Structure 1
Amino acid sequence: MNPLLTVKMKPITKTFFKGLIAIIPLTLTLYLLFWLAATVELALGNIFKLFLPESWYTKGLGFVLGLAVVFFFGVFLESRPFRHLFRKFEELVNQIPVVKSIYSAIRDFISLFSGKQKGKFKQVVLVNVPHGKGQQIGFITVSDFGEVLPTLVSNDQIAVFLPFSYQMGGNTVIMSRQNIINIDMSVEDALRFIATAGVVGNVEDEKNKI
């Protein structure tokens, strides 16, 4: 093959992949947003038709209704009596065996994106991987077991969640405090770092690159 042609192809290939890397995340994000909006529209649109005349319904009204419901529910949660009633409802839900597990898992996952609670992740740590294979970033979820597992866990042990990269899920391990190192890293930055296998780090650094 002509070397000159090969040299010309390299910039073209580089430019193509640069555009590909930029457009794929944007396309997938827009697709997921449209899918979520369509799902909300379908569910709440049908509920709207149950209580009001179908002639009043126009496409998109279900989505708008969903936004309004979420907003006003948040406003109501600012009220102490409504917040108390909601906690009572959660207590009832947590008494149902299977529903309790599903509800708690979804609630804890959503709370990860709350700037107020940071989920149940208490501290970002480095965990020593066995057999000298390096270290892994994890999150302390239980630092004091108390009455949870008093006969199975010793006082110097903690629970650490080790999430996977590029997928949901992870492993929760109980280990000695001697096997972890506390690091000065926010939960958001650590989650971003792990989820992208280290490709994306501190959010402020990423903003400065733009």
Structure 2
Amino acid sequence: MKRYLIAGLLVWLPLAVTIFVLQAVLGLLDGMFVWLLDSTQIVVPAAAHSTIATLRRIPGLGVVVMLLGLLLTGMFATNMVGQWALRKGHRLLNKIPIVKQIYSSVKQVSDTLFSSSGNAFREAVLVEYPRPGAWTIAFVTGKPGGEAAEHLSGDYLSVYVPTTPNPTSGFFLMVSRADVIALQMSVDDALKYVISMGVVAPSLPRSRGPAAVRR
């Protein structure tokens, strides 16, 4: 009986978590769409309020509209006119008190994480943590900068050590490159390894064995 229960759990648990995450994302997109509709009611004539109420009742319309909006925004942001307009908008937001601290911080983090030209979370490594002799998987996020870099002599890396099984929380470390072992596994495989608490181990690359990994 116990074996059957575990086998059933292994079938349904990934599906349930996937549905939960998708529902959360879709709910967020729908919520943004409803907020936009509510905002438009302030400026549109009262005769159009019934049309807006009808749009709110159409299932899935919010997701389609928000995805289309993201697509159009991306197309606008990648051309010359869009980049000029975004630069003007950035300068304006950076002049508003309180807003500039929040906006600049979030923009810097998002640009670092999601920019195709950045290096954040593009390499998985092994580091000794939380004590010598104990190793864990970490992700390279760049190099130390600012005042912290001035106090570190030598070649150092900034790494993020995720917690298990929730990788969204973790620890930020600055470690010497000589104390880091580079891994061939992809970031996706490394995340699966962390989230599964070591149960789902990535396969060893055929091109290189463990002896060839750089230290």
Answer whether contact 1:45 1:63 (CA < 8 A) is retained: no
SS in 1 for 2:150: coil
Partner deviation per Cα, 1:130-168 (whole Å, 9 max, x = no partner): 6543221112223474x6645222133222221112122
2:87 counterpart of 1:98: no
Within-5 A mapping of 1:133-152: 133-143=133-143, 145=145, 149-152=148-151
Q: What is the SS of the residue equivalent to 1:153?
A: coil
Give the Cα separation in 1 of the matches to 2:21 and 2:130: 39
**Shift in Å, 1:98:** 3.4
For 1:27, the aligned partner's letter is A
Residue in structure 2 matched with residue 44 of structure 1 by the alignment: 33
Cα contact 1:163–1:171 (8 A) shared by 2:
yes
Match of 1:54 in 2: 49
1:1-210 equivalent positions in 2, closer than 5 A: 12-48=1-37, 50=40, 53-56=48-51, 57=55, 58-60=57-59, 61-90=61-90, 96-106=100-110, 108=112, 111=114, 116=116, 120-129=120-129, 131-143=131-143, 145=145, 149-167=148-166, 168-202=168-202
Cα deviation for residue 44 of structure 1 reads 1.0
Distance apart, 1:69 and its partner CA: 0.6
- What secondary structure is seen at the aligned counterpart in 2 of 1:155? coil
Give 2:170's aligned amino acid. Answer: G
Query: What is the number of residues matched between the two proteins?
Result: 188
Contact 2:142 2:158 (8 Å CA) reproduced: yes
In structure 2, C-alpha distance between the alignment counterparts of 1:35 and 1:130, rounded to whole Å:
34
Q: CA RMSD in A?
A: 3.2
Secondary structure in 1 aligned to 2:199? coil
Q: CA deviation at 1:84?
A: 4.2
The alpha carbon displacement at 1:117 in A equals: 5.3
Q: Distance in 1 between matches of 2:160 and 2:179?
A: 14
Q: 1:31 to 1:182 in 2, by over 3 A?
A: closer
Query: Cα–Cα, structure 1 residues 66 and 182, in superposed 2: closer, same or farther, change >3 Å?
Result: same
- Once the two structures are superposed, residues 43-79 of structure 1 have per-residue CA deviations (whole angstroms, 9 ceiling, x without a partner) of 3134235256233324233222112111211222332
Percent pairwise identity = 23
Q: TM-score, with normalisation over the residues of structure 2?
A: 0.69
User: Contact conserved, 1:48 with 1:62, CA < 8 A, in 2?
Assistant: no
Q: Which residue of 1 aligns with 2:210?
A: none
Taking a change above 3 Å as real, the CA distance of residues 88 and 184 of structure 1, as seen in their structure-2 partners, is farther
Structure 2: which amino acid aligns with 1:137? I
Distance 1:101 1:39 in 2: 22
Task: Show structure 2 runs of 5+ residues with no match.
Answer: 206-215
